[in-house]
Amino acid sequence: MFTGISEIDRMFGAMDLLRNRMDRLFNDFDGSSLYAPAFTLTSNSPRTNFLENGDNFEVQAEVPGISKHDLNIKIQGNYLEISGKRIVDTPDGYKIHRNERGGSTFSRSFTLPADVDAEKVEAMMKDGILYLKLPKSETAKPKQITIN
């Protein structure tokens, strides 16, 4: 039996180390979705940063290899959805020896902390990153109230 808290801590530390090594082992194979926690992103979901700067929200999403024509951005109130598809065609006459960059689709949705003025949204792509500037709606901006 355990004689002290330090032995229990060492046991849990060893278990964490084993779990981390097993996770890395399974991530090398395409079975990672079987063992990954429910909140991890699937491999075709773009990694996203979400920032707030005064009167604007800003979103930066990694979308390498996706044309701006294959992206869809929808905003309604405080709901943002980014979806798209990656198309990879094999040229005629070519034989595939390895295909790791297959075509895929994705859809990410976010509930923003405040409503957005959809008419003033700006979208830009640069170096495989989608940049969205989402101005807060006038009703979402704080108002200074004067006391009579």
Candidate ranges 48-62, 100-114, 133-147; pick with highest mean pLDDT: 48-62
Please, what is the average pLDDT of the chain?
A: 81
Alpha-carbon gap, residue 9 to 76, rounded angstroms = 49
pLDDT, position 62: 93
Residue from 126, 100, 127, 124 nearest 44 by CA? 100
Residue entry with tokens 């807060």: 136
Residue from 37, 79, 43, 85 nearest 59 by CA? 79
pLDDT, position 81: 92
Instruction: Return the percentage of the chain with pLDDT > 90, whole number.
Output: 33
Cβ proximity of 122 and 133 under 8 Å:
yes
For residue range 57-95, list pLDDT tens digits in order: 999 999 988 889 999 999 998 899 999 998 888 888 988
For residue range 10-44, list pLDDT tens digits in order: 777 788 878 877 777 766 555 444 444 444 455 56
Alpha-carbon gap, residue 141 to 79, rounded angstroms = 17
pTM summary value = 0.64
Contacts of 123 (CB under 8 A, 6+ apart): 73, 130, 131, 132, 133
Q: Residue 143: is its pLDDT beyond 90?
A: no
